[in-house]
Structure 1
Amino acid sequence: MTEGPPTIFSPARREARIVRARSLQQAPKAADWLAQSLIEDMLDRIDFMRLEPRRALAVGIGAERLGASLEVQGARVVVTDPLALNHEQPWPTGDFDLIASLGTLATVNDLPGALIHLRNALRPGGIAMASMIGAGSFPRLRTAMFAADGERPAARLHPTVDAQAGAALLQRAGFSQQVSDSWTLHLRYGSLDALVADLRAQGLNSALTDTAPPLTRDGLGRAHAVFLDGADKDGKVIETVEVLTLTGWRN
């Protein structure tokens, strides 16, 4: 019997964090830097490639805003709620000449399978672009969590994909051409709590199947201290978010 992919992420936890993020987004000045950055980058890529999609599908963080921009350019756009789309099952009808996935593929258990479903939803000659949190993300947060746990680190942050692995995944999924590249966001924070609040507000908190044990008071103190190590004169540090973008063409 062929075994399926390991269950690293919990679909229930993934859905719960989306629901909570939507609620938190109603607060004044809620963090929205990821959606804004993904939308701007996706539109820049579409413009650079001189794409003029007739029928497009947009799903994920900021999909409604991206869809509205594409409609202004003359495309017929289907905006799909990520809660209504099982990424590990076949996607809607395969007649899209552009599919834009914004931050939705980083927490699927069968990423190769999800990319195959995405490719199959394209019409011949269609292009898929998928952006997700990449391997170089949150180095300061990772260091802080290791310091908090000491000699027995728990799994608190998601495993991620780098650009080299992304290209191999696109090829494995059957795309005729593959481009995998990454870019970075640099964010300033004055506390670990502020970063964690921003992650929750954007649905970037843990969706792991295995729940890590709560941090002890001493561990949390170590995490706060390590996170702010080397802070500037304003008491802030730079945290890095790497965004991996996979672009694939279907024959």
Structure 2
Amino acid sequence: MSCLSTRGLACHHGSRPVLTGVEIAFAGGELTAIVGPNGAGKTTLLRHLAGLDTPAAGGIELDGAPLSAIALGLRARRIAYLAQGAHAYWPLLGRDLVRLGRLPHGADLGRPSSGADGDAVEQALRRVDAVALAARPVDTLSQGERARVMLARILATEADVVLADEPVASLDPGYALDAMAVLRAEAGRGAVVIVSLHDLGLAARFADRVVVLAGGRVVADGGPSAALRPAVLEAAYGIGFRTVTVDGVVQVVAWSRQP
């Protein structure tokens, strides 16, 4: 299984520090939820893990090799990244958008999918219940429908590392549960799966591990019951939390403006 790790990672937006001294390793077979308040650095961390941005200091390694030294083609096959609120800027059909996930494997969009590429696309559409969206232009889809097709695109890559930034933000509760179950299954096949979330309930229910970011630093890292303790979250978010237990899963609930 793969391992994605950071060494003393520091990230800036211009001259403003966003992440400082992040030392963390993500293992295959594990779904990690990244949570924290707005501006904590969740998106910045995911973009650096995807190799899209250059660190101000430190580095990122994939299976012990510097990410920056891995050829772009190989990196695209091994790491699939779903940006927050991902958009399509031209009216591709849903199926063709999902086929973009096969480009790192040499797929040719100029001819119909076949073989492994076609199978991967169709399976990805089925997994997110988007077969009915495959023949529709993506600019005619609702935000939630488009989010499902975008998720299918990264599933079609069949990557070793799956990075998803707020993948359930525009989904209704049923599809949000489905999306998290699909991402959980990706971890089950051995992928490194890292998902940023604002929904702490989904993090508690689906994640093997939760990393809490605040002020550009990792303030908690562990199983959901340890990382999502009210004392940890109150310090990170500056508000009060309460807990309830549902089917044996401890859930944290934002409760008051006062910690």
Q: TM > 0.5 between the two?
A: no
TM-score by length of structure 2 reads 0.28
User: Which structure shows the bigger proportion of residues in strand conformation?
Assistant: 2
TM-score of the superposed pair, with normalisation by structure 1: 0.29
